[in-house]
Structure 1
Amino acid sequence: MRMILNEKIKAAEVQLTGLNGEDLGIVGREEALDMARNLKADLVCTSLFSSPPPCKLVAKGKAKQEAAKEKQDERRAAQPPKLKEIRLTPHIEDHDYETKRRQAEKLLASGDAVQFVVKIQGKEGQKAKELLEQMLKELAEVGRKETGIQLSGKQAAVRVNPL
């Protein structure tokens, strides 16, 4: 949506809303622009599809800031979540485990999915499964598992999506 500001508004009169959302009624374009200048604000047209067009007074520069933020949010929502892999071992030290958990929390909070992979050899399957279950329990408030824990010959894996 393009934003129409101040002098670019061509309508003879506008339906004006004040800085605090109060309805100021139908006002001539010049009078509305004068009010905007006096209040050090921008006059922003919110829709061109009605007559007179609804306009509002917004603090100087704030309208452009809001539009840029809206555009950025749209772009972010359009991107699919990325999948990040975090590798662990069944015999992980507590400190390393905490580091991996914090890393996963950060990724999930930023909207990316996380795949935990535990490399296993021999009879470490049960230990790997317990490690992943503990990780899932600790990340319950930021993410939810998409798949069950999959145990295959050389690894155990689970995928966690952000909430």
Structure 2
Amino acid sequence: MFLFFIEIFFLNIYVKLKEVLDIKLFKTKKSPNNKDLYNDRIPQGSYLIIDEKGQKLGIFNRTEALKLSEEKEIDIVIVNADSNPMVARLMDYQKHRYNQQKKNRETKKKAQVSVLKEIRLSPTINTHDLNTKLKQVHKFLKQGNKVKISMRFRGRMINNYKLGETVLKQIIQDLTSVAQIENPLKLQGNQFTAVLTPSK
């Protein structure tokens, strides 16, 4: 009799311990994202199935939905898990995932804030320094930034502004393959300025 109570005691401890472990495992288990709910990953429930052409095929349970997917030799992907019934679509999952990733990259790219960078040139700049400045302009434009090119004339140098204007026009012309002119070249006081934006 004593041994019987001992067995019951340890059995209760085992059951309680198992319940605690099961709860912890359940809590730490991560649910897949909606975009990952496809094929055998779709949960039990009712589904409104839409085919590849966008036509509604009706309401199916999980078993029927998977069977339909297998018969048509195409993936079944949940596109709305919050509705009742859930909405699933017959499609190529890998292609769908690729398009989603591409769309996310494009959205992220458009969301990037364009910064106005400035490159200052001297009317007496030598060829080596000019090439270095041009490389900087190319770098800024490729990063998606706008570039303000400026040339300041000091003292009597303003009398030779035509020469500086010619140099700047040539620079802008050389950049037309990677840039568009947002603000055309103009002389304000003793300084020429122009703003370029990356080509689309």
Deviation at residue 145 of structure 1 after TM alignment = 1.4
- Computing the radius of gyration from Cα coordinates, the structure with the larger value is 2
Deviation at residue 71 of structure 1 after TM alignment = 2.4
Q: Deviations over 1:11-44 (max 9, x none)?
A: 4463455xxxx9xx96932236768xxx9x9743
The alignment's C-alpha RMSD in Å is 3.6
Q: Residue 159 of structure 1 aligns with which residue?
A: 195
**Does the residue aligned with 1:3 lie in a helix, a strand or coil?**
helix
Deviation at residue 131 of structure 1 after TM alignment = 1.7
Deviation at residue 126 of structure 1 after TM alignment = 1.9
Overall identity of the aligned pairs, in %: 22
State which of 149, 159, 164 in structure 2 corresponds to 1:116.
149
**Does the residue aligned with 2:184 lie in a helix, a strand or coil?**
coil
Higher relative contact order (Cα pairs below 8 Å, separated by 6+ residues): 1
State which of 129, 134, 147 in structure 2 corresponds to 1:96.
129
1:28-39 correspondence runs (5 A): 28-31=64-67
Decide which structure has greater helix share.
Answer: 2
1:22-33 correspondence runs (5 A): 28-31=64-67
TM-score of the superposed pair, with normalisation by structure 1: 0.68
Q: 1:5 and 2:30 equivalent?
A: no
Deviates further, 95-104 or 128-137 = 95-104
In the alignment, the residues of structure 2 paired with residue 71 and residue 52 of structure 1 have an alpha-carbon distance, to the nearest angstrom, of 22
Q: Is the 8 A contact 1:113 1:160 kept in 2?
A: yes
TM-score of the superposed pair, with normalisation by structure 2: 0.58
Q: 1:55 and 2:87 equivalent?
A: no
Size of the alignment, in residue pairs?
152
State which of 182, 191, 194 in structure 2 corresponds to 1:146.
182
Q: Is the 8 A contact 1:47 1:54 kept in 2?
A: no
User: Gaps (5+ residues) in structure 1?
Assistant: none
Decide which structure has greater strand share.
Answer: 1
Letter in 2 for 1:98: N
Q: Residue 82 of structure 1 aligns with which residue?
A: 115
Q: 1:55 to 1:110 in 2, by over 3 A?
A: farther
In the alignment, the residues of structure 2 paired with residue 52 and residue 79 of structure 1 have an alpha-carbon distance, to the nearest angstrom, of 33
Letter in 2 for 1:156: F
In the alignment, the residues of structure 2 paired with residue 46 and residue 52 of structure 1 have an alpha-carbon distance, to the nearest angstrom, of 6
Letter in 2 for 1:108: L
Deviation at residue 137 of structure 1 after TM alignment = 0.5
User: Gaps (5+ residues) in structure 2?
Assistant: 1-33
Q: 1:141 to 1:52 in 2, by over 3 A?
A: same
